[in-house]
Amino acid sequence: MDAIGRSLVIGGVLFVASLVGMGLHGLVPSDMLNASRSGVGAMTGVIALLLALVLGLLIWTAFAVFMGQQLEAFSLGPLIAEVDLLLEQCGAEAAGGRRGLRASLQRSRDRFFGDGGPRMLTIAEIKKTRSNLSHYFDNTRLSDEKRQRVFEAAGALARKYHETQAAMLIRLESPFPSRVLDIVVFWAALLFFGDGFLAPPNVVTVCAHLAGATGIATAAFLILELSHPYRGYIRLKPDSLDRILQSLGAVEVAQPATEAR
């Protein structure tokens, strides 16, 4: 179920809980209801405090996930540009590395922004990537010593790029414990039930509880959306990555014409 559907379910559950409370309101004798009002109100106040604290914490955690992915994604742009610049300084002997850089960047785009959201890296993929990097940068020897040092620096940055990408995917795998939101919804249902139990059932109180259920549902929507930054309504865009890919593609197209001259 997507974030919108799950949020609608949460809002519906809370509103129904308040309606159940209002239905029981009329079944309880008025003197008993008045006598227990302070006790029930105190308990709903405690639950409201817990709900506000944890719900705010979850929103902040989800926002931190979103902003963390955005900042790390932005940091990869200059890193890729620097790797390409260093490989360019190595001349034609590093042309394969530049082609590999573009292919790796294209795979990253497909992995993060492809259909179904980001795909996690498997152990086999991590081992294969590190093996390919080591094979290329450790076994390639350039004719000039100065360019060899530049080539080795490019290798270190390329490894950093892949390590950063792997870390981004690991952090996306479990932004926060999945059952935490379910517990928060349970607390909210208790709160709406208790408040509905104390409130006289009329149009005003029904509308007020509907507004409250909508507020909690939109908060849950924010949590679910922000904790998955690459899919849904609120998501990161691949525009900057596409511009880098176009730039690297333009460089590769221009190389044959330069060599022909």
Domain extent, residue 44, equals 3-260
Alpha helices (runs of H) in the chain, residue ranges in sequence order: 3-25, 30-89, 95-113, 123-139, 145-173, 178-198, 203-226, 239-260
Q: Are 219 and 46 in contact (CB under 8 A)?
A: no
Q: What is the pLDDT of residue 261?
A: 35
Return d(Cα 52, Cα 212) in angstroms, integer: 13
Global pTM?
0.77
Token digits of residue 157: 């940055």
| Residue 104 CB partners (closer than 8 Å, separation 6+) | 161, 162
Q: What is the dihedral of CA 80, 253, 97, 94, to 10 degrees?
A: -120
The pLDDT of residue 259 is above 60: no
Best mean pLDDT range from 19-23, 121-125, 216-220, 232-236: 216-220
* DSSP code, position 94: G
If you ran DSSP here, which 8-state letter would residue 119 be given? Answer: P
Instruction: Report how far residue 257's alpha carbon sits from residue 261's, in angstroms, rounded to the nearest whole number.
Output: 6
Q: Residue 174 pLDDT more than 80? A: no
The DSSP code for 236 is: -
- The pLDDT tens digits of the residues spanning 45-62 come to 888 898 999 999 999 989
Decide if 145 contacts 139 (C-beta within 8 A).
no
Number of domains in the chain: 1
Report the distance separating Cα 226 and Cα 61, nearest Å.
9
pLDDT band at 249 (very low <50, low <70, confident <90, very high): low
Q: Residue 248: pLDDT above 80?
A: no
Phi, then psi, of 138 in degrees rounded to 5: -85, -25
Cα separation, 132 vs 138, whole angstroms: 10
Indicate if the pLDDT at residue 31 is higher than 80.
Answer: no
Per residue in 106-137, pLDDT tens? 888 888 887 777 888 788 888 888 888 888 88
Please determine, for residue 204, whether its predicted confidence score (pLDDT) is greater than 70.
Answer: yes
Residue with tokens 């993929």: 125
